[in-house]
Amino acid sequence: MKIIFYVFIAILVVGCATPLRDSPAQLKSMQSTHGIVMGSAVIKLRDDKVSMARSLENLAWYVVVKNISSSGVKSPDRSIRLMSDAVEVPIVAGLPEGTYEIQTFSEQGLEPNVSFNANVRFKVTAKTNTYIGRLVVTIPKEVSVLDSMLFVSRPVDIFVEDAYDDFSSQYSKVYTAIFSQGLVKGLMIE
């Protein structure tokens, strides 16, 4: 019964937000009030040792991205699914113009569920293709079961790096039309 409950919660979390990865066909039919953002995100593990530990390795993390603009077209929340295994996940989406915030990282594999806030922002400009960078989140490999909050004594490191060349070499063939139009850099703000 417990497993069914956690599967239901995972579906609920993912089901409430649309993935932040659009196909080239979806981007081609985008409205004129939208812009395209491209970038990536990755979770890395830091080798901290703690007593009475529970592992954060190989967990699925769901990341909520919200449009926080006070005016303009509101859009539904979007999501990114990451694994805590240092595999980079692309972000490619057509979004209404506005300011967006990568807010909450939540995993679905532990009891109780663990989460943390990122509060990283990026801007979308209509009719503009923007490279927003690589979001790198480093978390401890283990946390103490005694900590009442996930990272009481083990901070989360969040930073944005310009990895345009890596991103371009991996995805320019898939998203040829966007790369041929050019991308402006508008890195995420921590």
Q: Residues 84, 45: contact at Cβ < 8 Å?
A: yes
- pTM for this predicted structure: 0.81
More confident residue, 13 or 50: 50
pLDDT over threshold 50, residue 13: no
Over range 27-56, report the average pLDDT.
85
Confidence of residue 112 (pLDDT cuts 50, 70, 90): low
Tell me the range of 9-13, 25-29, 51-55, 152-156 where mean pLDDT is highest: 25-29
Give the model's pLDDT for residue 135: 94
* Residues 57-104 pLDDT 10s: 888 888 889 999 876 666 778 888 888 778 899 999 999 999 999 988
The 10s digit of each residue's pLDDT in 126-175 is: 999 999 999 999 988 877 666 544 444 567 889 999 999 999 999 999 99
- Per-residue pLDDT band for 10 (boundaries 50, 70, 90) equals very low
DSSP string spanning the chain? -HHHHHHHHHHHHHHTSEESB--HHHHHT--TTEEEEEEEEEEEEE----SSEEE-TT-EEEEEEEE--SSS-----EEEEEETTS--EEEEEEEESEEEEEEEEEESSSSS--EEEEEEEEEE-TT-EEEEEEEEEEEESEEETT-SSTTSSSPPEEEEE--HHHHHHHHTTTTHHHHHH--EE---B-
